[in-house]
C-alpha cells in the first residue's frame, strides 16, 4: 500500500444499515469511498458497544479498498492480533487507552497491520511527538468518541495544523474523525488532513437501493476538501 497524501474519504459504517453491512460496504465503495472505517467500541473506554473481531472479519470479505479499524477500547493489547487476523489494514489505538502506547504500536506493526494513533480532543498533539516514528497514521478526534452524529469541535483545526508541522516529511496520514461534512472538510484539509472519516454525512438520505445519494455525499465532501488545497 503506497503512501499518498491526496484526500481520501473514509465512510464510517457505524452509520450504515446494521442489517445489511455487506451491501452497504459494496455500495459506498462503488460510489467512490477510498477507505472503509470501522469503529470498534467497548462500552468501557467509550459509552457504546459495536463490533468484535468476528464482525470485522465478516466485513473484510466485502471490503475491496482499505479497511481502517479504529479501536476505542481499553485495554487494547489483548485484542490486536485478533483484529489483525480479521483483516484490518490499519489498526488505530488511543493514546489515552493505556499506559504503554509505544508497546501497543509495536504490537500492531508486529501483527502485520499499519499502526494508527488516535488522540481525543482533550489531548494536545504534542503528546504524539515521541511516537511519530512508530506510526503510519494519526487520528485526531474532532468529537468526543463514542457516538456518531456529534458536532465538530473547531479548536481541533489548530491542533491539526500543529500536527502537520510536527510530521514534516514523514509518510504519516492525518485522519480526522467526527463531524466531517462539506462545511468542515475544507477546514481540516487546509490544516493538513488527508483522510476524512464521515458517517452520517455520507449515509444520510441514501440506502443500498439508492446508492447514488452516497456517491453525491462523498463527492460533496471530497470537492469541498480539495477546493481548500
Indicate the SS3 state at residue 68: strand
The single residue listed with the C-alpha cell 490486536 is 80
Catalytic annotation, residues: 39, 177
User: Which DSSP helix (H) or strand (E) runs through 8?
Assistant: strand 8-11
- With a CB cutoff of 8 Å and minimum separation 6, the contacts of 18 are none
Q: With both helix axes pointing from N to C terminus, report the angle between 21-30 and 53-60 in degrees, rounded to the nearest 10.
A: 50
Indicate the SS3 state at residue 14: helix
**Closest Cα partner for 191 from 218, 217, 219, 152?**
152
**Read out DSSP for 148-162?**
SSPPP-TTHHHHHHH
Q: With both helix axes pointing from N to C terminus, report the angle between 212-227 and 21-30 in degrees, rounded to the nearest 10.
A: 50
The single residue listed with the C-alpha cell 481525543 is 120
Indicate the SS3 state at residue 101: helix
Q: Which residues pair with 176 in a beta bridge?
A: 140, 196
- CA-to-CA dists, residue 32 to 58, 213, 219, angstroms: 21, 11, 8
Amino acid at each position: 500500500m503506497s503512501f499518498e497524501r491526496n484526500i481520501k474519504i473514509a465512510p464510517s459504517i457505524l452509520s450504515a444499515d446494521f442489517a445489511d453491512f455487506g451491501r452497504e460496504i459494496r455500495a459506498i465503495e462503488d460510489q467512490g469511498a477510498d477507505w472503509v472505517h470501522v469503529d470498534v467500541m467497548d462500552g468501557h473506554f467509550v459509552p457504546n458497544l459495536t463490533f468484535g473481531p468476528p464482525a470485522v472479519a465478516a466485513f473484510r470479505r466485502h471490503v475491496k479498498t482499505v479497511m481502517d479499524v479504529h479501536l476505542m477500547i481499553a485495554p487494547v493489547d489483548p485484542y490486536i492480533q485478533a483484529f489483525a487476523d480479521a483483516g484490518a489494514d490499519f489498526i488505530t489505538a488511543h493514546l489515552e487507552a493505556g499506559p504503554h502506547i509505544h508497546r501497543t504500536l509495536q504490537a500492531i506493526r508486529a501483527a502485520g497491520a499499519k499502526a494508527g494513533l488516535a488522540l481525543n480532543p482533550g489531548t494536545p498533539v504534542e503528546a504524539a511527538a515521541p511516537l511519530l516514528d512508530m506510526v503510519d497514521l494519526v487520528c485526531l478526534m474532532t468529537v468526543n468518541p463514542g457516538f456518531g452524529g456529534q458536532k465538530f469541535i473547531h479548536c481541533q483545526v489548530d491542533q491539526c495544523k500543529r500536527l502537520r508541522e510536527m510530521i514534516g516529511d514523514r509518510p504519516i496520514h492525518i485522519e480526522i474523525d467526527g463531524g466531517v461534512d462539506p462545511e468542515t472538510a475544507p477546514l481540516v484539509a487546509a490544516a493538513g488532513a488527508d483522510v476524512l472519516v464521515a458517517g452520517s454525512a455520507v449515509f444520510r438520505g441514501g440506502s443500498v437501493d439508492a446508492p447514488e445519494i452516497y456517491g453525491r455525499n462523498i463527492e460533496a465532501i471530497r470537492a469541498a476538501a480539495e477546493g481548500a488545497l
